[in-house]
Amino acid sequence: MSRVDEFLHAAERANTRRSYASAIQHFEVEWKGLLPATSEAVARYLADHASSLSNNTLRQRLAALSRWHSDQGFADPTKAPIVRQVLKGIRSLHPAIEKRARPLILDQLEQVDSWLQRAVGEARIRGDQPRLLRHTRDRSMVLLGFWRGFRSDELIRLKLENIQISPGEGITCYLERSKTDTDYAGREFKCPALSRLCPVTALGEWTAAAGLSAGPVFRKIDRWGHVAQEALGANSLIPILRCVFAAAGLASAQEYSSHSLRRGFAAWARASGWDIKELMEYVGWKDIKSAMRYLEASDASLQARFEHGLAMPGAAPSPITAANPPAPAAAISEAPVIPMAVLRVKMTLDRFNKLSRGWSRAHRLIEKTCFERYAMQRLDAEGTEYELRVPCPSRDGLEEAIYALLDDMYRVADANQCRLEASIHEPTSGAYWS
């Protein structure tokens, strides 16, 4: 292999190479397709597998075919209109609900951690070194994966020589590469020490128990308690977590995966008052659309928003019947009333240049992620003026919410190559923000 080939090989991830090679083999060997392919052959290939493969898998197969033709110097048949139309028709006739891992909420994390600590104590009393090591490793992996929001590949790539542990303060991890680090620039991750469920303490206990000082952090352990030199495999993490969750008594353990830790932390952080900007920076999301896939409103918070709207002035009163008597005056007076500020928002979005294509997506995301949570009402057909109702417990709280809203809007615009001009007006006080 020449030096040029060596660098070209290193520029592409091994998983991508394996995935593309498998896709080409499926097209050429299993489906008996000819390469180079015509656009009509690619369209037939999609149609033949429309009911057996998911939409995401079909798109991955197209990407592999596109890459093969580009590498071999042939015209790309996957860009033909007939292929795009067939794929669009498949999405229409075979809609699929995206499968997502169930988030591990904080109460469940405490349940899992309590079981692991008991298991470690029992193994220590019995002198069962393999179980002691395994449960200590798993506890460290669960806590660090949750509080740092790590992906599975990030967890198994952690190396002790790239980690600084400060007991009682926190840890600093350096990852040479990760899924979104396409430029291989590397990134530093920090995690604080906590009063309970502490990932710093758990990591220190694992490295001490295993006698580790360098190399991969999370490793294989055989039945005799021998700790391997190599890291856990990417495909072994999910079975380990599901086994631990099932043993800890979590229902439907098969619905959890390594992403459950990441989704659970995102849900906890959002419920704890983190704004989208700081959460994206901490976890490492670059696209707000990716972040919103993790930030689903809980059923309880959704119900609370509906009930709050029903309690607002103008809501239709419930009929008074024998089964539904009027509430006592004292109960009505004691109900908490959160003051609301009515805001007028004026927004103008422009593309950075003629090649920018994210205008409509930016407009849609701003409405969905920034405005809808404040009972958005459009005031014009063009979507440039809006009315929002923002909870206003205090003046400082209102200004903080408005600045966070503006920051989120500008972040969406920048991510989609758009310029944004926005101003917010509170008619009651005459105050403006921009």
pLDDT recorded at residue 370: 83
Its CATH architecture, for the domain 3-93, is Orthogonal Bundle (1.10)
pLDDT recorded at residue 9: 58
CA distance 426 to 110: 44
Reported as a single tens digit per residue, the pLDDT across 257-279 is: 888 888 888 888 877 877 777 77
pTM of the model: 0.61
Buried b (16+ CB within 10 A) or exposed e, 55-67: eeebebbbebbbb
Give every CB contact of residue 432 below 8 A, 6+ residues apart in sequence: 423, 424, 425, 426
How far, CA to CA in Å, does 240 sit from each of 151, 234, 236, 318? 15, 11, 6, 51
The total of other beta-carbon atoms located within 10 Å of residue 173's CB is 22
Q: Quick one: what percent of the chain has pLDDT higher than 70?
A: 80
Rg of the chain, C-alpha, whole Å: 27
CA distance 367 to 151: 29
Do 400 and 408 form a contact (C-beta atoms < 8 A)?
no
User: Which has the higher per-residue pLDDT, 75 or 303?
Assistant: 75
Look over the chain and give the mean of its residue pLDDT values, rounded to a whole number.
81
Give the residue from 150, 139, 154 showing the smallest Cα distance to 196: 139
pLDDT band at 137 (very low <50, low <70, confident <90, very high): very high
- Residue 192 identity: P
Burial-class residue 166 by CB neighbours within 10 Å (0-12, 13-18, 19+).
Answer: exposed
Q: Please report, for the chain, the start and end positions of each structural domain, with discontinuous segments joined by +.
A: 3-93, 106-271, 340-433
pLDDT recorded at residue 296: 59
Structure tokens given for 201: 């303490």
Greatest mean pLDDT range, 245-254, 296-305, 321-330, 362-371: 245-254
Burial-class residue 417 by CB neighbours within 10 Å (0-12, 13-18, 19+).
Answer: middle
CA distance 44 to 33: 10
Mean pLDDT of 225-254: 88
Do 163 and 217 form a contact (C-beta atoms < 8 A)?
yes
pLDDT recorded at residue 253: 86
pLDDT band at 376 (very low <50, low <70, confident <90, very high): confident
Its CATH architecture, for the domain 340-433, is 2-Layer Sandwich (3.30)
Residue with tokens 């419920």: 271
Do 70 and 106 form a contact (C-beta atoms < 8 A)?
no
Give every CB contact of residue 223 below 8 A, 6+ residues apart in sequence: 130
Do 83 and 74 form a contact (C-beta atoms < 8 A)?
no
Its CATH architecture, for the domain 106-271, is Orthogonal Bundle (1.10)
Q: For residue 337, is pLDDT > 90? A: no
pLDDT recorded at residue 270: 79
Reported as a single tens digit per residue, the pLDDT across 167-224 is: 888 888 888 766 665 566 677 888 888 988 999 999 999 999 999 888 999 999 988 9
Q: For residue 231, is pLDDT > 80? A: yes
Structure tokens given for 194: 């906590």
User: Which has the higher per-residue pLDDT, 203 or 5?
Assistant: 203
Domains 3-93 and 340-433 share a fold: no
Q: Identify the H or E element spanning 378.
A: strand 377-378
- C-alpha count within 13 angstroms, C-beta hemisphere, residue 139: 31
